[in-house]
Amino acid sequence: MRLFLLFGAATLLVAQSVPDALLGRWRTSNVTKGGLGALYEFKTGGVVFVRPGAIAPGAYKIEGNEMVLPPLLENGPPNRQTMDLTKPGRLILYQGKEVSMDLSRVGKQPPGKPTVTGEWVGMRMMDGQKLEMRIFFYPGGKSLFLLPFQTQQAKYSINNGRMTIELPDGKAAEGPFSLRGNALSIPSVRSGKATQLTRY
pLDDT tens digit at each of 200 positions of the chain: 443 333 343 333 344 578 999 999 999 999 999 999 999 999 999 999 999 999 999 999 999 999 999 887 777 888 999 999 999 999 999 999 999 999 999 999 888 899 999 999 999 998 889 999 999 999 999 999 999 999 999 999 999 999 999 999 888 999 999 999 999 999 997 766 899 999 99
Q: According to the model, what pLDDT value does residue 191 have? A: 62
Task: Name 179's bridge partners.
Answer: 184
pLDDT digits (tens, 9 = 90+) for 19-51: 999 999 999 999 999 999 999 999 999 999 999
Strand partners, 91: 103
How far apart are alpha carbons 13 and 20 in whole angstroms?
15
Give the whole-angstrom CA distance, residue 154 versus residue 187.
13
State the pTM of this model: 0.86
- 14 membership: H or E segment, kind and range: helix 2-16
CA–CA separation, 61 and 68 (whole Å): 5
Contact indicator for 135, 147 with CB cutoff of 8 Å: no
CB atoms within 10 A of CB 6: 10
Contact 189, 174 (CB under 8 A): no
Domains of the chain, start order = 19-53+151-199 (2.40.128), 61-140 (no CATH)
CA–CA distances in Å: residue 70 to residues 34, 67, 122, 198: 16, 10, 20, 23
Q: What pLDDT, in 10s, does the model give residues 157-182?
A: 999 999 999 999 888 999 999 999 99
How far apart, in whole angstroms, are the C-alpha atoms of residue 142 and residue 132? 21
Secondary element (H or E) of residue 111: none
Mean pLDDT, the chain, whole residue set: 89
